[in-house]
A and B are shown apart, each in its own frame.
Chain A
Amino acid sequence: MTEMHRPLLAIEHLSIGFPNERDGTMHPVVRDSSFVVNRNEVVGLVGESGSGKTQTAMSVLRLTKPPGQVLHGRILLDGDDILQMNDIQLRQVRGNRAAMIFQSPRTSLNPLMTIGNQVGRIYTRQRGMKKKDAGDATLEMLRRVGIAGPARVAASYPHQLSGGMAQRVMIAMMLACDPELLIADEPTTGLDVTIQAQIFELIQEIQQETHMALLLITHDLGVIAEVCQRVVVMQLGRIVEIAPVDTLFADPVHPYTRRLVGSILRPDLEVLPAAARGNDFPPVVLEVGGDRYQAVSVDSWRSVNVGRPEMVEVAPGHQVLAHAVDAPSEAVA
C-alpha cells in the first residue's frame, strides 16, 4: 500500500496574489506555504482575520476568485496537480474527490433555487441519477444531516432557512458528493453557541463515519483543540507553525503561536492568561541562529536585512517558520 504513504493533499510552496487596485501589482496574500493532509486525518488551519487561511482553502479547489490568482506552487491531490488540470479534470475533482463547506451557508446557496433542486442536481450530475431518484436521495440525505422535515425543507428557498439549517443543507450537499477530502471554511462562524455545537457534532460524526480527510479552517483554537489531529497556523499569509494538536498547545514555538495559545480564554479558569497581559502585541518574527530561537519585534528586526524565512523542523512533525541569522539579536517579547 504505497499509496498510504502519499498524503491525500499536499500543498507545496503555494503563493496567491491579489492585484493592488492602484497600480495592478500583485500583492501576495498567501506566500510560500506548504503543508499536507493525510487520509482520514483532520487538520486544522488556524489564523486570525487576514491571515490567508481562506484563500489557501479556496485554492485547493482552484476557486481563487479573479483577479486573484495562484502565483506559484503546486497543489497535489493524491499526486495530481490541481493547478495543472484542465476544466474537465478539475470538475472531476470538485464535488467528487474533494468538496468544500463555506463560511456563510445562506449566501452559499442560490437564492432563486429550491433546496431540493440544489441538492438534487448533485445526484443527477455527479451520480448520473434520474430526476426522481435524485429527489428521493435528496430527502434521504437531508434526513441524514438531521433535518426534521426534509420534504418541507427541500421545497423551500434558502432565505427561508435559519443559518444552522442552511449549514446542514451545505453539509448534505457535500455528503452527496461523497468526497475523499472535505474542506470546511469556518463552518460555524455566525452561528449561536448551541447551534455551533450541533454542527461540529455532525461534522465529526460524519468524518468518523466516512473516514474522509478534513481540512478545518477556523480562527477558534478551542474548535481546533476539540476536532483536529494536526494544526497549521497561519499569520499574514505565512504558515508559521505546523504541529500535532497536543504539541501545539503544550509547546508552541513561534511567538505568534505562543501568543495565540496564550490568549485563549477558558470558561473553566478564572485567571487571565499571563502571556496575554499588557498592551496589544506588536508584530513579531522568529529568528533562528544555530539552535537558539529568538522572538524579535518587527520594528527592530526590519533594520537588519535578513533573508527569507524558512520552515524549520524543531521536532518530528513540528515545524516552525524562522529567519536564519548568524546570532539571535536581543529579545523583545
Chain B
Amino acid sequence: MSLSRYILRRLALTAITLLGVIIAVFLMARVLPGDPVTVKAGQYATPEIKEQLRIQMGLDKPLPQQLATYIGNVLQGDLGQSTRSGHTVREDIGQRLPVTLELALASLIVAGGIGIPLGIYAALHHGSKRDAGIQQLAIFSAATPVFWLGLVLIYLFYARWNIAPAPVGQLSTNVEPPRTITHLLLVDSLLTLNWTTFKDAAGHLILPVITLSVVVMSPFIKMARTSMLNVLGSDYITAARSLGLSDREIIRQDALKNVMVQLLTVSGIVLGYLLAGNVLVETIFAWPGLGFYAWNALTGSDYDAIQGFVLVVAVIYVFLNFFVDLAYTLIDPRIRLA
C-alpha cells in the first residue's frame, strides 16, 4: 500500500471515529444526571421559566434532530455556551488549552528527559544493581497516586518549608503576564526577556511538573528499557557486534533509532494523557487548564462545557494517535511499504 493511500485510509478511519465520538459525547450529555435546563434556571425556577428555556435551548425537539443540530454546530466549531463563565465553550477551551499544553509539554520533557536515559542506561547495564534500582524507581513511580503525590509535595514545599509559591495557577498575582506570542507563559516571557515573569512562571510550574513527571516517567523508563533490551537482544545488534562495531557506535547507529520508534508511541500516549488526563493535578494545583475546567464543569453541571471538553480531548487524542502513527510510518520503512 502506498503511503498516501495509507494516510487516506487512516484519515477515513479517524473521521469515522470522530463522528462516533461526537455522537457519544452528545448522548453522554443526555444521560448525565440532572437536567441542563434546571441548572440554567436555578434552584427555584418555575416550570414556565424552565419550559421557556427548554424551547430556547432546542431541547423540546426530537433527539435525532437535536443530534443533527449538535453535529452541525460542532462542525462549525460551535461548542455551545458555558453556564458558569457565560463565554462560549470554544473561547473557554481555546484559553485553557495552551495553559494545559505548557504544563503537559514541560512534564513530557522532564519525564522523557529523565526517564528515557534512565531506561536506556538500565538496559545497557542489564541485570546489574543499577538496573534493578532503576526498575524499582519505575515501579514505584507507576504505583504512586498522582493526587496524593501532589498533596505531599504541596505540604512539604509550600506549607512546611515555604520554598514553592502558593499552589495557585500559573503566576503570582503581582506578576504581569507577558505579551502573548505563543500562549505559553514560559516561552513568551523568555521571548519578551521578562525575567521576573519567567522566574515566577517557572516557579509555579515546578511542583505540578514534578508531580506529573514522576507519574509518567514510569512508561518512559519501562519502554526505553524494554525496547532497548529488545533491540540489544536482536539479531542485527549481535551481527553488528560481530562486525567489530563498538557499543557506542551500535547504540548510536543501530539501537537508538529503533528505540525511538517505540518511544514515539509512548510519548504520544503520555502527551495525550497529560493534555487530557491530568484533571487531578490541575485540580490540586488550581492550574487553570483544561482538566481543571472540566472538573469545575462537571461539579457545576456545566453541560456544554463538559461536552466541549470531552469532545476536544477526544479529538486531540485521536489526532495525536493519528500523527504518532504517521510519524511511525515515516520513520520505520517496514510499515511504510508493508
Contact = CB atoms under 8 A, between A and B. Distances in A.
B243 A95 contact: yes
Contacts of A99: 242-243
Nearest to A92: B244
A182 to B, nearest CB: 11
Given A95-B245, A121-B253, A65 B333 contact: no
Contacts of A111: 236, 258, 332-334
Of the candidates B127, B244, B332, B334, the one having the most CB atoms from chain A within 10 angstroms of its own CB is: B244
B238 A125 contact: no
Contact of B243 (A67, A87, A107, A177): A177
A103 B337 CA distance: 25
B235 interface: yes
A189 interface: no
A157 B239 contact: no
Contacts of B234: 107
A96 interface: yes
A122 B243 CA distance: 7
A94 B241 contact: yes
Contacts of B334: 111, 157, 159
B249 interface: yes
B236 A110 contact: yes
Given A87-B246, A96-B244, A111-B258, A63 B253 contact: no
A220 B135 CA distance: 43
Given A66-B126, A157-B334, A109 B236 contact: yes
Given A95-B245, A125-B245, A110 B240 contact: yes
A93 B239 CA distance: 14
Contacts, number: 89
A297 B126 CA distance: 41
Contacts of B127: 66-67
A314 interface: no
A160 interface: yes
A108 interface: yes
Interface residues of A, number: 36
Contact of A173 (B233, B243, B253): B243
Contacts of B244: 90-96, 125-126, 177
Nearest to B332: A112
A170 B254 contact: no
Contact of A113 (B247, B249, B253, B261): B253
A94 B242 contact: yes
A61 B261 CA distance: 29
A302 to B, nearest CB: 34
A258 to B, nearest CB: 34
A42 interface: no
Interface string A102-129: 1110011111110000000110011000
A257 to B, nearest CB: 30
Interface of B is mostly: helix
Interface residues of B, number: 28
A152 B253 CA distance: 22
A99 B126 CA distance: 26
Given A94-B241, A94-B243, A113-B253, A108 B258 contact: no
B254 A95 contact: no
A152 to B, nearest CB: 14
Of the candidates B233, B238, B242, B334, the one having the most CB atoms from chain A within 10 angstroms of its own CB is: B242
Contacts of A58: 238
B232 to A, nearest CB: 9
B15 interface: no
A36 interface: no
Interface in B214-240: 233-236, 238-240
B9 interface: no
B243 to A, nearest CB: 4
Nearest to B254: A110
A112 B233 contact: no
A100 interface: yes
A307 B332 CA distance: 55
Nearest to B250: A110
A112 B260 CA distance: 11
B331 interface: yes
Contact of A157 (B246, B249, B333): B333
Contacts of B235: 102-104, 107-108
A281 B259 CA distance: 46
Nearest to A96: B244
A126 B249 CA distance: 13
B333 A61 contact: no
Given A104-B235, A157-B333, A125 B242 contact: no
B257 interface: yes
Contacts of B261: 112
Contacts of B236: 107-111
A63 B254 contact: no
Interface of B: 126-127, 233-236, 238-247, 249, 253-254, 257-258, 261, 331-334, 337-338
Leading 3 A-B pairs by shortest Cβ distance: A95-B244, A95-B243, A94-B244
18 contacts: A63-B242, A91-B246, A94-B244, A95-B245, A99-B243, A107-B235, A107-B236, A111-B332, A111-B333, A112-B332, A113-B257, A121-B245, A157-B334, A159-B333, A159-B334, A160-B333, A170-B239, A177-B244
